[in-house]
Structure 1
Amino acid sequence: MLILWGASAWYSYYGALAAATAAYDRTLLASARTVAERLTVSEGSLKVDVPYVVLDSFERNMRDRLFYQVRDIQGAVISGFADLPPMPLGTPLTDRYPALAYFYDGVYQDAPIRAVVLLQPVGEGGVNGMAKITVAETLLSRQQLAEQLLCSALQTQGALVVLTLLLAYLLLKGVLRPMRRLSREILRRDGADLAPLPDLLPWQETRPLVQAFNRQLARLRQLVARQERFSADAAHQLRTPLTILKTQVEVARTSADPSLIAESLGAMAVRLDHTIALTERLLLLAQLNADERSGLRQRAPLELVTLVQQACLSRLTQARSKEIDLGYEGADPAVMVAGESLLLGELCANLLDNAIKYTPSGGIVTARVLRAEGQVWLEVEDSGPGIAPEQAERVWQPFLRLEHGADQPGAGLGLALVRDIAHYHHGEVSLLAAPQLGGLLVRLSLPLEPHPRR
C-alpha cells in the first residue's frame, strides 16, 4: 500500500501540474489577446500601446513576472522584450482554444517560463499580414498550485492508507486469533492423539480446513488401527510355529533314537514350509496395502485367460494328489484387464489352493473367465462343503479359520489377501453357492480393458 501510495502521489503531482498548466495557459492567452486589442495602424506602420496597467490585472496577487513582445508583419519587434526566447520549430498549434496560438516552454533570465505566441491578423491602412504577440510568465504560481493539489491529495490518500492499514491489522488480528488457538491445540497434543480437532475457526471460509484435517485424522486412525491389528495377529500367528520349531529342535538334539530324530526333522521341514508360506503372504499383504496407499505399482493391460490357465497348470500336481478333476473353461485369450500380473497370479493361486484344499478327494474344481456387462468375471467353483451364508462375511478376516476347515493346513490369510488384491484392482469378490458343482463359487469382478495398448 505504501508503494501504491507513492505511485499515486507521483501521478497526482503531474496531474495537478497539468491542471495548473491548463488553467494558467487560459490566463496567458487572455493576456496576449489584451495586447492584440491594442494594435493600431498609423502612417502605414503597425504600432501598439501597452501600458503597464493593461497587464497589471494579470499580475495582481501573483508571484510570477510577466513578459511580452510584439512583432509586426515583417517580424520586427515594435514593443516589449526583444530578447524573449523564440518559439521552437515544430511547435504545434493549440487545439484547446479558438485562436491561432502556440504554447511552449523556455528559459528567460535564468528562470523557466511558459509562453504563448498569438497570431493576430492585420488588414487596415495598407498593412496586411499577421502580427505576432508573445506573452510569457514564470512558473512559480503554477508550481505552487500543483504543490497545493499534491499536498491535498497526499493528506487525503495518506489518511485512507492509514485507516486501511489499521482496519487490516485489526481484521488480521481477529482472523489469526482462532488460528493461533488451533495451532496451540495441535502443538500441545501427544503424537499418538488422533482425535478430531475442535471447531475453533468460526468463519465459514476456514471451516473446510478443519474438516479436511479431521478427515485425514480419521483415515490415519483407521490405518493405525489396521496396522496394530495386523501386527498383533501376525505376531500371534508367527509365535506359535516358531515355538513348535524350537520344541522339535530340542527333541532332535536330546534324542538318541535315529527314528525319533528323523521324525522330528521331517516335522520341522513341514513346519518350516508352513512358516515360510505364512511369512510370504504376510509380507505380500503388507506390501499390497503400502503400494495401494502410495500408488507405487503401475497397472498394465494383461490377458487374464492366459494367467488363469497358467495358475491351473501350476496346481495340477496338487489336484492329482487328491484325485480332484481340475479344469478351465470360458472365454478365449482376448480378454484384457488392467492389472499387476504378480498380484493377480497370487489371487488365482489362493483361490485354487482353497478350492483344492477344502474339496474332498475325487471332487471337481473348475476355473473360468467370462464377459458380463462391461466387466470380466473370474470364477473358481468347487464341489466342496461350501460356506454357510451367515459365515460368508467372517471368512474375509485375516487368520480366521472355519470349523469345517480347522484340520487343513494354513493360516487363514488366503481370502483376506484375495479381497485386498481385488480392491487394489478396483474389483469386487463375492462368495456364492455353486450352481453346477454344489460347493462354493468365488467370483471376482474386474473392469474390462477394451483394447490392448501397444
Structure 2
Amino acid sequence: MHDRRIAAKRPPRPSLRRRLLTFLLVPVLGVLLLDAVIGYFVALAYSNRVHDTDLSDQALTLSELISNDAMSGELTEQARFLLEYDPDGRDYYAVVSEHHGRMIGNAKLEGPGFPVPLEVTPRFYDTMLGHRALRAAVMRIPNRNEAGDTLTITVAENLRDRHLRAREILFLTLPMQALLIGAVLLLTWFGVSHGLRVLEPLTARLGRREHDLGPIGEEDVPVEILPLTRTIDDLFARMRNMLGLQERFIADAAHQLRTPLAGIQLHVERYAATTDEAQRAQALDHVHRLAARAARTSAQLLALTRTQSPDLPDHDGMAVIDLSQIVPEAVSMRVHQALALNVDLGYEGLDRPVFVRGDALQVQEVIDNLVDNAFHYAGRGHSVTVSVEDAVADIVLAVEDDGPGVPDAFLAQLGERFFRVPGGDEDGTGLGLAIVESIAERHAARVEFTRGEAGGLRVEIRFPALLSLPAA
C-alpha cells in the first residue's frame, strides 16, 4: 500500500506526443481567440463604414430639405420623422446659422474640433451628449435665405446599433471559423500521431536486438532523430571498447597468471610434503618470487588496461605540463632503488622549462616503466641515464642504459604485448614497454627503440612540440 502511494505521487512520464500536441494545439486555440477579436474589430469597422454612409446621406438629405423649404425655424412633421426615426436608438440633428445661431434641431450637439469647409461633402467626428457617445456628420452650406450667411448641419447617432451589427457579423462568421479551427486541431492530432509512427520500424529493429552493440545505422532513421541515434552509436562504440578491454584483460590475466599460480601451488605442495628445512626454505623462496611475479603482472595488466580506457582525455584535451620539473622528480624517487641495485642512475636536462601537452601521472608511469626495464635488463654495476632534449619539432624524453642491449633483429618487436627478448630473464612480464607504447599513443607521441652509444638500449618518447608557449 505504501509503494502504491509513492508510485501515485510520481510525476507523469514525459510524452513526445503530448509535448508536440501542446506546442501545436495551444497556439492554435490562441489564434482562434485572436481571430475572434480581430474579426470583431473588422466587423465593427465595416459597420462603422455603413453607418457613416447613412449619416452622410442623412446630412445631405437634411441639407436638401433646408434648401427646398423656407426656414421658419421648424421642419415639417414628415422631415422630422425621417431624421429622428431609429428602431434601435435615436438620431440627433442640429442646424446652426453663422449669423443667427441655432435654428432647428432636437439636441445641442457640440461642434467638431476642426474647421468645417464650405462644401457638399460631410465630415465625420466623435462627440458626446451627456454621458452618451455619438458619431456625427457635419457640413456647411450657404444660407439661401440670407446672403453671406452659412448653415452648419450636424447629424449624429449613438453607437449602439454599430456594435450590435458588429456582434451579429461576428456571430455569423464565428461558427464557420470554429469549424475550420476544429478541423485544423483534428488534422494536427492525426498528423502528430501518424508522424510518430515513423519511429515504429526503428523501435522494432532495436527491440529484436539482444547482445548486439553494433551501430544502429541511418537507413530508417528520421532526420530529426539522427543526433540521438548517432549519440547512441557513440555510446555503443565506447561500450564495445570497454567490453573488449575487459575481455582482453581477463584473457591476458588468465594466460599470464596461470604459470605463476601453478608454480605457487607446486611449491606449496613441495613444502607440505617434506620435513627438510633446506627444501622448505627453497620452496618458500620460489613461492615468494612467483607471488611477486603474479602481483607485478596483475599490476601491469591493470596499468595497461587503464591507459587504454576511452574515458581518459585525448591529446587535445590534456593540460600543458613542464617536463623539466616532472622528469627530475620522477628520477629522484628511484634513486634509493638504484643504490640498492648498484646502478648509476642519472638525469640530463635543459636549464629552462620544457612544455608539452600531456598527463603528468601518465608521464610518471612512462618513466617508471622505462627505468624498471633498464634496471632489470642492464643489471648491477651498469648506468642508466634519463634525459630531456629539445629536437625543435619534438621534445624527446629518453632512457638509455649501457647494458647488453637488444639485438637489432628484435628492436622492432619491442613494445608488443608479452614480448620478451629470447634468452633474457624469464621474470619479466613483457608488458612494461607495451604500457609505454599505449601511453605514448594517447599523447600523440612516437616511441623509438635504438642502440645507445655504449651499446645498451635507448628508448625515446618523442612528444609533439607546442606551437606556442602558455601565457605566464
- Residue number in structure 2 paired with 1:401: 419
SS in 2 for 1:332: coil
Sort the Cα spacing of 1:278 and 1:225 in 2 relative to 1 into closer, same or farther, 3 A: same
CA contact (8 A) 1:303 1:333 kept: no
Q: Are positions 1:6 and 2:33 aligned together?
A: yes
- Normalising by structure 1, report the TM-score: 0.76
TM superposition shift of 1:353: 1.7
- Residue number in structure 2 paired with 1:32: 59
Q: How does 1:238-257 map to 2 (within 5 A)?
A: 238-257=257-276
- Partner letter of residue 433 of structure 2? L
- Residue number in structure 2 paired with 1:49: 75
Q: Which of 277, 280, 284 lines up with 1:258 in the alignment?
A: 277
- Residue number in structure 1 paired with 2:390: 371
Q: Are positions 1:102 and 2:125 aligned together?
A: yes
Structure 2 unpaired stretches of 5+: 1-27
Task: Determine the C-alpha separation between the residues in 2 that align with 1:17 and 1:198.
Answer: 59
Sort the Cα spacing of 1:171 and 1:70 in 2 relative to 1 into closer, same or farther, 3 A: closer
- Residue number in structure 2 paired with 1:152: 173
Per-residue Cα deviation, 1:338-392 (whole angstroms, up to 9, x for no partner): 4443321121011122233233666654332122345422122345443657873
Sort the Cα spacing of 1:339 and 1:215 in 2 relative to 1 into closer, same or farther, 3 A: closer
- Residue number in structure 2 paired with 1:81: 106
Task: Determine the C-alpha separation between the residues in 1 that align with 2:32 and 2:286.
Answer: 89
- Residue number in structure 1 paired with 2:42: 15
CA contact (8 A) 2:330 2:367 kept: yes
- Residue number in structure 2 paired with 1:349: 368
Q: Are positions 1:411 and 2:429 aligned together?
A: yes
- Residue number in structure 2 paired with 1:276: 295
Q: Which of 235, 242, 251 lines up with 1:216 in the alignment?
A: 235
Task: Determine the C-alpha separation between the residues in 1 that align with 2:78 and 2:437.
Answer: 110
Per-residue Cα deviation, 1:152-186 (whole angstroms, up to 9, x for no partner): 36625742x45544554454344322312322332
CA contact (8 A) 1:101 1:119 kept: no
TM superposition shift of 1:15: 2.2
Task: Determine the C-alpha separation between the residues in 1 that align with 2:352 and 2:260.
Answer: 42
Sort the Cα spacing of 1:308 and 1:142 in 2 relative to 1 into closer, same or farther, 3 A: closer
- After TM superposition, the structure 1 stretch with the greater mean CA deviation from structure 2, 240-249 or 222-231, is 240-249
Task: Determine the C-alpha separation between the residues in 1 that align with 2:354 and 2:427.
Answer: 34
- Partner letter of residue 444 of structure 2? G
Sort the Cα spacing of 1:377 and 1:158 in 2 relative to 1 into closer, same or farther, 3 A: farther
SS in 2 for 1:69: strand
- After TM superposition, the structure 1 stretch with the greater mean CA deviation from structure 2, 414-423 or 276-285, is 276-285
CA contact (8 A) 1:358 1:405 kept: no
Sort the Cα spacing of 1:333 and 1:256 in 2 relative to 1 into closer, same or farther, 3 A: farther
SS in 2 for 1:47: coil
- Normalising by structure 2, report the TM-score: 0.74
SS in 2 for 1:103: strand
Q: How does 1:42-441 map to 2 (within 5 A)?
A: 47=73, 49=75, 52=78, 64=88, 67-73=91-97, 78-82=103-107, 87=110, 99=122, 101-104=124-127, 114-118=134-138, 120=140, 125=146, 128=149, 131=152, 133-136=154-157, 139-140=160-161, 143-145=164-166, 147-148=168-169, 151-152=172-173, 155=176, 158-159=179-180, 161-190=181-210, 192-197=211-216, 199=218, 201=220, 203-204=222-223, 206-207=225-226, 209-290=228-309, 292-293=311-312, 300-315=319-334, 326-359=345-378, 365-383=384-402, 384-386=404-406, 392=412, 395-397=415-417, 400-404=418-422, 407-424=425-442, 426-434=443-451, 436-441=453-458
- Partner letter of residue 237 of structure 2? A
Task: Determine the C-alpha separation between the residues in 1 that align with 2:76 and 2:407.
Answer: 125
Sort the Cα spacing of 1:101 and 1:151 in 2 relative to 1 into closer, same or farther, 3 A: closer
- Partner letter of residue 126 of structure 2? F
Sort the Cα spacing of 1:93 and 1:323 in 2 relative to 1 into closer, same or farther, 3 A: farther
SS in 2 for 1:193: coil
- Partner letter of residue 430 of structure 1? V
CA contact (8 A) 1:9 1:150 kept: no
Sort the Cα spacing of 1:371 and 1:101 in 2 relative to 1 into closer, same or farther, 3 A: same
Task: Determine the C-alpha separation between the residues in 2 that align with 1:41 and 1:345.
Answer: 117
SS in 1 for 2:406: coil
Task: Determine the C-alpha separation between the residues in 2 that align with 1:378 and 1:94.
Answer: 100
Sort the Cα spacing of 1:34 and 1:226 in 2 relative to 1 into closer, same or farther, 3 A: same
Sort the Cα spacing of 1:374 and 1:18 in 2 relative to 1 into closer, same or farther, 3 A: farther
Instruction: Give the percent of matched residue pairs that are identical in Structure 1 and Structure 2.
Output: 25
- Residue number in structure 2 paired with 1:442: 459
TM superposition shift of 1:137: 5.2
- Partner letter of residue 22 of structure 1? R
Per-residue Cα deviation, 1:22-55 (whole angstroms, up to 9, x for no partner): 3322321331232134336999x77353654698
- After TM superposition, the structure 1 stretch with the greater mean CA deviation from structure 2, 318-327 or 209-218, is 318-327
Per-residue Cα deviation, 1:247-278 (whole angstroms, up to 9, x for no partner): 43444455432223333333333333333333
SS in 1 for 2:73: strand
Task: Determine the C-alpha separation between the residues in 2 that align with 1:3 and 1:70.
Answer: 47
SS in 1 for 2:38: helix
CA contact (8 A) 1:27 1:58 kept: no
Aligned residues: 437
TM superposition shift of 1:435: 6.2
TM superposition shift of 1:231: 2.2
SS in 2 for 1:136: strand
CA contact (8 A) 1:429 1:444 kept: yes
Per-residue Cα deviation, 1:195-228 (whole angstroms, up to 9, x for no partner): 3335552645545554553343233223211221
Sort the Cα spacing of 1:169 and 1:374 in 2 relative to 1 into closer, same or farther, 3 A: farther
Cα root mean square deviation, aligned? 4.3
- Residue number in structure 1 paired with 2:20: none
CA contact (8 A) 1:299 1:338 kept: yes
Task: Determine the C-alpha separation between the residues in 2 that align with 1:323 and 1:176.
Answer: 75
